[in-house]
Amino acid sequence: MPDAPTLRRRRRLFGLLVLGTGGLGTLAMHDVLVSTGVGGLQVPLLVLFALLFTWIALAFWNALVGAVLLWLGRDPLTLGPVAPVPPLCAPHHTALVMPIRHEEAGFVGAGLAATLEDLVRSGDPEGFEAFVLSDSVDLRVLGEEAAVVAGLQQRFEGSIPVHYRCGREPGGRKAGNIAEFCRRWGGRYEALVVLDADSRMSGHTLRRLVAGLQAEPETGLIQTVPQPMGAQTLVARLQAFAAVVHGPLLATGQAFWQGDTANYWGHNAILRTRAFMACCGLPRLPGAAPWGGDILSHDFVEAALLRRGGWRVRLDTTAGGSFEQVPANLADYLRRERRWAQGNLQHLRLLTTPGLHPLSRLHFLLGAFGFAYAPLWAAMLILGFFSLTGAAGMGSTGHTPGAVPETALWLLAATLALLLGPKLIGLMLTRARYRAFGGGGRCLGSGVLEIILALLLAPVLMVFHTVFILQILAGSPVSWEAPCRADRPLDWHRCLRLGLPPALLGLGWLVLCLLTLPALALWTGPVWLGLMLAPILFRLSGQCGPPGLLLTPPEDAVTRPGCREGGNGPPLPDPLRPPPPESPGPMPVQALIATPGRLRRWAGTRVPGMRSHDDAG
Residues 150-196 have pLDDT tens digits of: 999 999 999 999 999 998 887 889 999 999 999 999 999 999 999 99
pLDDT at 564 (0 to 100): 41
Residue 23 or residue 566, greater confidence: 23
pLDDT at 119 over 80: yes
- Residue 89: CB atoms within 10 Å: 10
* pLDDT band per the 50, 70, 90 thresholds, residue 400: low
Instruction: Judge contact between 339 and 346, C-beta under 8 A.
Output: no
* pLDDT band per the 50, 70, 90 thresholds, residue 114: very high
Residue 337 or residue 595, greater confidence: 337
Radius of gyration of the chain (CA): 25
Which candidate, 487, 536, 560, 547, places its Cα nearest to that of 328?
487
- Residue 613: CB atoms within 10 Å: 17
pLDDT at 147 over 80: yes
Mean pLDDT to the nearest integer, 404-427: 90
pLDDT at 268 (0 to 100): 97
pLDDT at 568 over 70: no
Share of the chain above pLDDT 70, in %: 90
* pLDDT band per the 50, 70, 90 thresholds, residue 579: very high
Amino acid making up residue 1: M
Rounded Cα distance between 439 and 184, Å, is 52
Rounded Cα distance between 426 and 437, Å, is 13
pLDDT at 598 (0 to 100): 43
pLDDT at 570 over 90: no
pLDDT at 556 (0 to 100): 55
pLDDT at 599 over 70: no
pLDDT at 612 over 50: no
Rounded Cα distance between 486 and 554, Å, is 20
Mean pLDDT to the nearest integer, 25-40: 84
Rounded Cα distance between 323 and 321, Å, is 7
| Strands 269-272 and 191-194, bridge-based pairing | antiparallel
Mean pLDDT to the nearest integer, 412-438: 89
pLDDT at 573 over 80: no
Amino acid making up residue 236: A
- Residue 396: CB atoms within 10 Å: 10
- Catalogue all structural domains in the chain, each as residue range(s) with its CATH number: 8-84 (no CATH), 94-326 (3.90.550.10), 372-395+432-478+487-553 (no CATH)
Which residues face 94 on adjacent strands? 128, 191
Amino acid making up residue 108: V
Q: What angle do CA 345, 348, 349 make, to 5 degrees?
A: 115
Average pLDDT, the chain: 89
* pLDDT band per the 50, 70, 90 thresholds, residue 566: very low
- Residue 606: CB atoms within 10 Å: 13
* pLDDT band per the 50, 70, 90 thresholds, residue 391: low
485-537 confidence digits (pLDDT tens)? 777 889 999 999 999 999 999 999 999 999 998 988 998 999 999 999 999 99
pLDDT at 275 over 90: yes
DSSP state of 97: E
pLDDT at 82 over 60: yes
H or E element at residue 200: strand 200-201
